[in-house]
Amino acid sequence: APHYTLPFTTPCHSVVTIHDCIHLLFPQYLPNRVAHIYARTALWIAANRSSRVLTVSEASKNDILRFFKIDPQKISVIPNGIERQFKIEPSAEAIARVQERYQLKSPFLLYVGNVKPHKNLERLIDAFFKLRKDGLKTLTLLIIGDEITKYTTLRRTVHRYQLHKYVRFLGFVPSDTLSILYRLANAFVFPSLYEGFGLPPLEAMASGTPVVTSNVSSLPEVVGNAAMLVDPYDVDSIANGIQAVLEDSAYREKLTKNGLDRAKMYSWERSVIKIKQIYDELSSS
């Protein structure tokens, strides 16, 4: 199963993927207590009844072992891969079309992902306001993901700071457009409080864009030495990290080079080979 839901009993070997334990670590983000009980029960069944548990990072493996008393040898860590489109240089014509369509002006920061509370966009907007107040008056912020109508608190924060002209919520964009937006951004910012893996920073790295991300959960493990790590709970840390990447050209070039090298470590082809080995092992036992 590619998700953590599994029947209570199965007549054959079963393999389940637990990407993260966010529902157990941040139960306050679930709609009610019933949802928390359901998530905990489903995860318990997945962890205890499956023949093998797949997860995407050592950080997630440690979280699983923290909540469920299972044999560590039962868990296999197989990281996610990066889609090829983020590693391919787009044409000049395609880039020009995206610039024209979205009226993009440099410098701009980019965030990609949903806008749920653990993504920490409130503090990102706080940090963005601080950067503009401290002199980066031409800086804008593009947020790609869910529609802002789902989370009205973010809209209120933007209007409280009078940033509605400088923070743009683009919602969903096609994947070919997304790969170009990554490349055009001056920096990619991903201050999440928790990730089982954290794919967007790697997509940005594969696109040659310097990354600012959190120093918590799986993110340091995934990005290695190829990103500016910041404290996601500290607005000043987020702002200072962004400013360092924007203003220090030598450091920005170093992150870009390290990021391109880091992104080469992750491919779906490698992940599929490892997953197939596990299925082959179980099918022959």
pLDDT for residue 148: 64
Domain with residue 90: its CATH number is 3.40.50.2000
**Do 73 and 176 reside in the same domain of the chain?**
no
> In this structure, are 151 and 247 located in the same domain?
yes
154 within some domain:
yes
Q: What share of the chain is helix, strand, coil (3-state, %, to 5)?
A: 50, 15, 35
Closest CA to 242 of 110, 103, 105: 110
* 149 secondary structure, DSSP code: G
Mean pLDDT by 10 residues, the chain (285 residues): 71 92 93 93 92 97 97 97 93 96 94 94 97 95 81 86 93 92 98 98 98 98 98 98 97 98 96 96 89
Q: What's the pLDDT at 190?
A: 99
Domain residue limits at 272 = 15-81+267-283
| Predicted TM-score (pTM) of this structure | 0.94
Beta bridge partners of 142: 110, 168
Specify whether 221 is located in the same domain as 258: yes
Q: Are residues 118 and 51 in the same domain?
A: no
Q: Has residue 10 been placed in a domain? A: no
Inside any domain, residue 222: yes
Contact status, residue 251 vs residue 244, Cβ threshold 8 Å: yes
Same domain, 129 and 174: yes
The answer on 158 and 66 residing in a single domain is no
**Encoding tokens for residue 112?**
């990609």
Total domain count, the chain: 2
Backbone φ and ψ of 54, nearest 5°: -100, 140
Asked if the structure places residue 8 within a domain, the reply is no
**8-state DSSP, 90:** P
Looking at residue 155, what is its pLDDT?
85
Same domain for 146 and 30, yes or no, is no
Q: How many CA atoms lie within 13 Å of 239's alpha carbon, on the beta-carbon side?
A: 18
131 and 223 share one domain: yes
- Based on the domain organization, do 275 and 254 belong to the same domain? no
Instruction: Determine the Cα–Cα distance for residues 74 and 58; give it in Å rounded to an integer.
Output: 13
Q: What are the tokens at 14?
A: 């079963």
66, 162: one domain: no
Is there a single domain that holds both residue 72 and residue 140?
Answer: no
Looking at the domain assignment, is residue 217 inside a domain? yes
Q: Which residues pair with 54 in a beta bridge?
A: 17, 76
| 77 inside domain | yes
Note whether 196 and 181 are within 8 A (CB). Answer: no
Same domain, yes or no: 133 and 237:
yes
1 lies in some domain: no
Establish if 194 belongs to a structural domain. Answer: yes
> How confident is the model at residue 24, as a pLDDT?
95
